[in-house]
A and B are shown apart, each in its own frame.
Chain A
């Protein structure tokens, strides 16, 4: 295993704090300097980054490849849409709480079944279960709107900001962007705490050697289940944040190729590093947005990128950057 940023004893090393502060500053400045279109693209990227962070707790830290994370993203989104449809809720805070709770319940149930398995069976089982939700969203059209999906109007933030009727582009490119950014920072900090905690170390022990982890007293099944639920909660949060941005939720986000996309971002950024999924999600979203604008054959572009990535850059953007950086540093030293 490569010793990249995963094993990171010095949490508060100076350089890391500086890079982090610069990144946060840059993200905070975007609405002021960039066009609304760019801001919204980054906003989507941040939402996907939260999902990818959650997903990577399983892939990067626990060693489980889920091909069914569309289920939790979609649950977050549909819980919000159903709250709007049946209860007329407009408060974003309620959406976030309900989205997380909904996905925790679904991940808790699915997790009980899935974490008994590893490797390919885990992947297929998560996939099969996510497709149960997809087929329900598609077929129970009187509840979910079927393939037309459900519309979600602009929500109100913190009880008063925004709300139905506000100029949508202006709302999303400013207030909603900061709302997402703050939740993204909270989620990133929370995930950092989780992976650096003894719990996180236990997950990494399970990933590296399940038998040894069991012998040193880690309850493998229980830890995997908790990781699964946390992962689902993060992805559900992303789903809840995504709906007002998109204005519409359709069964497409529950369909399994969407799970494939979540895997894609994470691997694009590099799943062996903490920040890899974040970078990957933002980069992927740019790539997709431009590929879609550039050609109808955007899937071909993405597919070729993925194939090349797997063949030539298996550690992803961040992993490769770290390797290059290390090589330069070593070359400079006498």
Chain B
């Protein structure tokens, strides 16, 4: 029983992180039709900036304030997004999508080394946060409280993003632009602004994901490249451009990964990619995507 509870919580923890990354990727694709290969690096920026900020504040602040500093990671990634979209992506919207993909691949290489340049080759971490919370008992299983915190953040992000996209005026403009960019533009929506806002929002989510995972797994070079592929698996299963899809995909990948690590550790990653390939084969647009 405790093992089962622990495994379920592990899956949810993992799914939260994946959702934070994949929802941004999906949102950007949904609105702008760009698959951002540098998205994983924005997640890594979130982790690095949060670790750096917490390291600077260090011993002087109370632990609860350090939690507030996690937000710096999300804000830094959002800022990076707000710079990247107008500078590097806007000139390419009229070109073939190959160029957009290549541009984001180039940005991936650049961001990877910018992080190495700024923070060095060694991992950064702030385990004080995860240690400070200790662990709690959930249905008889002892589980780290910090992981529960991450699950709660993931759940709140899912609800918040859903409410934002489906319940606000900005969300309406976002969805209108994603359905028909020209029509939206003709109706007086400032498409340029919607694009930069959507891209920034996507990066904010990724940065938040990186920031909250950092106290557990640290900020490491290469974390973005690894995360991106899993995020791809999530959005392919769920459907590129769909938020519900990102949520369901994240849960599927989270659970499969936990089961995989327990029972078939050797081929766990291969199974995930195969699931993605099978879903794409059967339903090209993913479970929740529109073709």
Interface size of A by CB at 8 A reads 43
B188 contacts the other chain (Cβ, under 8 Å)?
Answer: no
Q: Give the residues from 297 to 334 in chain A that come closer than 8 angstroms, CB to CB, to chain B.
A: 297-300, 302-307, 309-311, 314
Residue A73 lies at the interface, judged by CB distance under 8 Å to chain B: no
* Residues of A close to B116: CB separation below 8 A: 296-297
Min C-beta distance of A265 to chain B, whole Å = 12
Chain B residues within an 8 Å CB radius of A176: none
Is there contact, CB below 8 Å, between B267 and A136? yes
Q: Evaluate contact between A306 and B270: CB separation under 8 angstroms.
A: no
Contact B114 A300 (CB under 8 A): yes
Asked if B119 is at the interface of the complex by the 8 Å CB criterion, the answer is no
| A187 at the B interface (CB under 8 A) | no
Interfacial chain A residues near B102, Cβ < 8 Å: 263-264, 267, 306, 310
1/0 contact trace for A273-304 toward B, CB 8 Å?
00000000000000000000000111110111
Q: Which residue of A lies closest to B276 (CB)?
A: A128
User: Is A67 an interface residue, CB under 8 A from the partner?
Assistant: yes
Rounded to whole angstroms, the CA-CA distance of A20 and B284 in the bound complex is 44
Assuming A120-B35, A135-B269, is B280 touching A264 (CB within 8 A)?
Answer: no
Complex CA–CA separation, A301 to B109 (angstroms): 9
User: Using Cβ atoms and an 8 Å threshold, which residues of chain A touch B280?
Assistant: 113, 117, 121, 124-125, 128
Q: How many residues of B contact A (CB 8 A)?
A: 44
Is B103's CB under 8 angstroms from A116's CB? no
How many angstroms between the C-alpha atoms of A248 and B89 in the bound complex? 38
Q: For the complex, give the distance between the alpha carbons of A158 and B276 in Å.
A: 44
Q: Name A's interface SS.
A: helix
Stretch at the interface among B15-23, B91-99, B152-160: B91-99
State the Cβ distance, A247 to closest chain B Cβ, in Å: 24
Which residue from chain B places its CB closest to the CB of A127 in the assembled complex? B232
Checking A59, A129, A263, A304 against B277 with a beta-carbon cut-off of 8 angstroms, the contacting residue is A129
Interface membership of chain A positions 245-279, coded 1 if the CB is closer than 8 angstroms to chain B and 0 otherwise:
00000000000110010011001000000000000
Asked if B112 is at the interface (CB within 8 A of a chain A CB), the reply is yes
On whether the beta carbons of B232 and A314 are closer than 8 Å, the reply is: no
Q: Interface 1/0s, chain B 195-226, versus A by CB < 8 A?
A: 00000000000000000000000000000010
A149 to B273, CA, bound (A): 22
CB–CB B117/A135 < 8 A? no
Interchain CA distance A120-B229 in the complex, whole Å:
15
B236 touches A128 (CB 8 A): yes
CB of B35 within 8 A of CB of A123, answer yes
- In Å, the complex CA distance between A36 and B174 comes to 58
Q: How far is the CA of A124 from the CA of B229 in the complex (A)?
A: 10
Is there contact, CB below 8 Å, between A303 and B108? yes
Q: Is the CB of B106 within 8 A of A113?
A: no
Residue in chain B with minimal CB distance to A305: B106
Contact call A124/B35, Cβ cutoff below 8 A: yes
**1/0 contact trace for B247-291 toward A, CB 8 Å?**
000000000000000000111111001101100110010000000
Known: A128-B236, A131-B269, A139-B267. A303 touches B106 (CB 8 A): yes
**Docked CA distance A131–B225 (Å):** 12
Q: Is the beta-carbon distance between A302 and B109 smaller than 8 angstroms? A: yes
B97–A120 touching, CB < 8 Å? yes
Least CB separation from B108: chain A residue: A303
Contact A300:B270 (CB < 8 A) given known A120-B35, A257-B225: no
Interface residues of A in 115-169 (CB under 8 A from B): 116-117, 119-121, 123-125, 127-129, 131-132, 135-136, 138-140
Distance in angstroms between the alpha carbons of A267 and B99 in the assembled complex: 9
12 CB-based A-B contacts, threshold 8 Å:
A113-B280, A120-B97, A120-B101, A135-B270, A139-B266, A140-B267, A257-B108, A303-B110, A303-B111, A306-B102, A306-B103, A307-B103
A-B complex: 8 closest residue pairs judged by Cβ atoms: A303-B109, A306-B106, A135-B269, A303-B110, A300-B113, A307-B106, A132-B273, A299-B113
Q: Which residues of B contact A (CB under 8 A)?
A: 33, 35, 37, 88, 91-92, 95, 97-99, 101-103, 105-114, 116-117, 225, 229, 232-233, 236, 240, 265-270, 273-274, 276-277, 280-281, 284
